[in-house]
Amino acid sequence: MASFSYEVFTTVVAKKTFFAAAKVLNVTPSAVSHSINQLEKELGFPIFIRHRTGVQLTDEGQRILPIIQQILNTEDRLMQEAADIKGLNSGLIRIGAFSSVCVNWLPDIIRSFRRQYPNIEIQIMQGTFNEIVERVRIGSIDIGFSSLPVKDPLIVTPLIKDPIYCITPKEFIPKNGIYVTDGDIGRRKFILQQIDYDKDTKAALDRYQVTPNSIFYSIDDQSIIAMVESGLGLGILPDLALDKLTGAVNHYPFSSPFYRTLCLVTNKVQAQTPATQHMLLEIEAYLQDRYGDKYLG
């Protein structure tokens, strides 16, 4: 089985301090320090820079992180295969998703999955598109929801085309009553969530010549709705994000349609574990049922 020092290493990377890693691993901080020192001795180079407030990976540590994570993932795959052969269907699935998937898709997917596989543990990590892709690449999560394009050499499965809408106060009505045009937008302010200010949103802003000084930033999607409702500006949100948001606002398509293509990302090692394969099938079944012919998978 993989060396315990590999698990210590990846836990320290995740928790940023020996003390926090020790709490997760249920060992003493001195045991964590000893394990890291032994690993550095075996490798022949330092893997962490120690600071007063914690640790930081060296360049060499950055290079070996995905390799060590892959070793741990391969061992997990072995244990899952053994459990699957014995009919236990146990294991762990780590899913990375952005906020609207966490809110609108995952509750139903996980509820259905747990009915079939109660012994498989599920962990959820919420993040941005880029964070999720990077974590899938190094193997710290097994399945990620992101948006095309994905440049990393991963297994990428398109899911749906998610239309992007202009969010307006309730009293705002486009001149043609159907979609928003250049004349409707003019010099109006726009409110965006800065952390998810992605290429598809930028394409819409560029098309309608919205300048950076006309953009306000908000904390999350619900905050955008509240600010638009108060008349502070217009918003841009995809259809999935609107699904469970509330507020006295309208949403209209743009005269030039925009959408983002949502996708699943996995790496070649993790895609082969039984637990991951079970979950991928569950996700496919859910989206096929929800979107029908619009599902791209």
Q: 287 versus 220: which is more confidently predicted?
A: 287
Residue 196 has pLDDT above 70, yes or no: no
List pLDDT tens digits, range 184-193: 998 889 998 8
Mean pLDDT of 151-162: 93
**Overall size of the chain counted in residues:** 297
Q: Are 166 and 228 in contact (CB under 8 A)?
A: no
C-alpha to C-alpha distance for 161 and 217, rounded to whole angstroms: 25
pLDDT digits (tens, 9 = 90+) for 243-295: 888 899 999 999 988 999 999 999 988 888 888 999 999 999 999 999 999 99
pTM: 0.74
| pLDDT, tens only, 86-122 | 665 778 899 999 999 999 999 999 999 999 999 899 9
- Return d(Cα 211, Cα 204) in angstroms, integer: 12
Three-state DSSP class for residue 244: coil
DSSP-derived secondary structure letter, 142: S
Helix axes 59-85, 129-138, angle to 10 degrees: 70
pLDDT over threshold 70, residue 1: no
Give, in degrees to the nearest 5, the angle at Cα 170 between 165 and 174.
Answer: 60
Instruction: List, in sequence order, every residue forming a beta bridge with 123; answer none if it has no partner.
Output: 94
Can you tell me the distance from the alpha carbon of 255 to that of 119, in angstroms, rounded to the nearest whole number? Answer: 49
